[in-house]
A and B are shown apart, each in its own frame.
Chain A
């Protein structure tokens, strides 16, 4: 069994998920993790697919391309190896930013996180609003043991102040029952 990452994007319409997953189903491939969403009228799909050894990948890819062409999608399929996780993170935080849109929000926030070794595990941004463009950003981040949450929060709040946007930073405990 091999793993592939499948990425596809194109103008949104009903039937995209069905077309792609239909090919995978017929080829006995299993969809593991996935993320699918509309981004400004485009539908984006990222899938981790387990492909059985007996499946010819070139056949699978040509079948996927056929569907992609029919639906006007850009599509890539490439092999991946391992689970790729080694660092241990001890806690999670949710960062929410709302404010008037300006360039650099994503860069300045993510740059701070990177400099502290904080890992982004989920992130979404959305531009909305009518007269004034409002920007919303939601981040779920993993905090390593050596980072003190209060310090992270303070530094993020400072960045938000410089950007003149509202921010809430919340540590979310993980509880196992």
Chain B
């Protein structure tokens, strides 16, 4: 049990493609525990990915029920190993912030609904259909596993006016 230090940008670990977990050994279980401890330590955090604590493995931890204002239906604590997004639908724009990119927030548009498959900490395969904020957080965390940060997903300098609106308004 340990709260780990959050790795912040521009540390190269955040840009690496993380390794698939091949065996759920003691070391991996330790990372899972530390990931949960670290997320729980930061009251405003609703998700974390292993590279954020310096572990380049495909492990994420999400819990949108920790957000005091969030009332929509959700799965509570989700820990996923080797998660993949199978399907996505719709669009949702959120102002995202990330512990690894402190002090920046940006408008990011992601899928509104996603179907994610992965292993739970006991090694059982699970599929989760998530909506709204939970879907957004899952996509944000899975991005981390491929070295992608939310700042890469911002589409325009102001991130307020989206590109198509700018184009359509040109005289």
Contact = CB atoms under 8 A, between A and B. Distances in A.
Interface of A: 90-92, 94, 122, 124, 126, 128-130, 134, 136, 138, 140, 170, 172-177
A50 to B, nearest CB: 16
Contact of A177 (B70, B98, B158): B98
B171 interface: yes
Contacts of B133: 173, 175
Interface string B119-148: 000000000000001001100110000000
Nearest to A177: B47
Given A92-B95, A172-B95, 5 more contacts: A130-B171, A172-B93, A176-B44, A177-B45, A177-B141
Contacts, number: 65
Given A136-B169, A172-B107, A124 B160 contact: yes
Contact of B95 (A128, A134, A136, A174): A174
B97 A128 contact: no
Interface string B8-29: 0000000000000000000000
A172 B91 CA distance: 13
A165 to B, nearest CB: 15
A172 B95 CA distance: 6
Contacts of A176: 44-46, 97-99
B46 A177 contact: yes
A177 B169 contact: no
A167 B95 CA distance: 21
A90 B44 CA distance: 13
Contacts of A94: 93, 160
B170 interface: yes
A57 B133 CA distance: 48
6 contacts: A124-B160, A173-B94, A175-B95, A176-B46, A176-B98, A177-B98
B96 interface: yes
B161 interface: yes
**How many residues of B sit at the interface, in one of the four size bands?**
20 to 34
Contacts of B97: 174-177
B137 to A, nearest CB: 6
B68 to A, nearest CB: 10
Interface string B88-118: 0000011111110000010100000000000
A175 B136 contact: yes
Nearest to A124: B161
A138 B161 contact: yes
A172 B106 CA distance: 11
A140 B93 CA distance: 13
List the 8 closest A-B pairs by CB distance, nearest first: A177-B47, A174-B95, A176-B97, A176-B44, A128-B169, A126-B169, A128-B171, A177-B140
Contacts of A126: 169
Contacts of B95: 92, 172-175
B48 interface: yes
A72 to B, nearest CB: 23
Given A126-B169, A128-B169, A128-B171, A174 B158 contact: no
